[in-house]
Amino acid sequence: VHGESSLFLFMAATAAGVTELQVYFVDGDFVTVTVDPSITAVQLRDLVAIQLGMRPAGELPEGFKGPECFGIWVCGDDVELELHFDHLPFEYIAGWSNLMKRYSNVLDQPWYREKKKKRKEGKLKEPPCRVFFRITALLSKMYERKFPSPGNAFHLPVVDLMWRQAHQWLLNAYYPECDLETSVEMAALYMQVKFGNFDRAVHKPNFCPLNKLLAPR
């Protein structure tokens, strides 16, 4: 859909009362939620968090952050915006073409014009923007690195999403200043998540072809 279609979608959803919304994660996975178009960013954040197994914000022990570690983002080709608690995601979707004009630096780039043309002709199925559930930009990096984990099952979905985002950021070179020590630590964590605890009978030298471990680019 392009700008006009996004606006039509918003108006139709408003008239219908409820609509389905796909909320994405950074690795391309998504969940589908049925919501009222007037839902706020914080309401949507908590709805997705609960669906993932997190406790609602405000029902956690003092000093523990669950859903509060994340935010609702609307992201497109060249613009990524984290929504404030009371912002309305559907309004951002409907007004995305205007937001691109306000914030983007690629509107005159040939590749963007071609992409926009393909969307208008229906040759490109990817929408101009998507709603994401991502780590909030306001989360302290010190808190993220020292995230408390012992003995609380509700930590698991939080740590899982943090890991998935860090993994994708590393693969796509969003950590330009990532030092060697951090890179090795991330690689070790990836191996642990993907292959489990060390098993001498299974994890022998060259048990997995190197080309399956390399980043896609």
Q: What mean pLDDT comes out for the span 159-170?
A: 81
In contact, 83 and 141? CB cutoff 8 Å:
no
Q: Which whole number is the average pLDDT over 109-119?
A: 89
Q: What is the pLDDT of residue 91?
A: 95
pTM comes to 0.74
**CB-based contacts of 60, cutoff 8 Å, min separation 6:** 66, 154
Tokens of 34: 């049925």
For residue 30, with 0-12 CB atoms within 10 Å meaning exposed, 13-18 middle and 19 or more buried, which class applies? middle
Per-residue confidence band for 158, with pLDDT thresholds at 50, 70 and 90:
confident
Query: What pLDDT does 74 receive?
Result: 96
Please report the pLDDT score of residue 3 as a whole number.
41
Average pLDDT rounded to a whole number, residues 136-155: 68
Backbone angles phi, psi at 90, to 5 degrees: -65, -30
Residue pLDDT, tens place only, 188-209: 777 777 777 888 888 888 777 7
Confidence category of residue 4, pLDDT binned at 50, 70, 90 = very low
Alpha helices by DSSP H, listed for 52-137, are 89-94, 96-103, 110-120
Sorting pLDDT into bands at 50, 70 and 90, what band is 70?
A: very high
**Residue among 65, 64, 92 at smallest CA distance from 80:** 92
Place of tokens 């060697």: 180
The chain-wide mean pLDDT, for the chain, equals 80
Please tell me the predicted confidence (pLDDT) of residue 188: 78
Distance of CA 214 to the CA centre of its chain: 22
Q: Which long-range contacts (CB under 8 A, 24 or more apart) does 97-100 make?
A: 97/2, 97/3, 97/6, 97/128, 98/3, 100/76, 100/128
CA dihedral (173, 179, 185, 188) in degrees, to 10, reads 50
Could you report the per-residue pLDDT of 23-60, keeping only the tens digit for each?
999 988 999 999 999 999 999 999 999 899 887 656 76
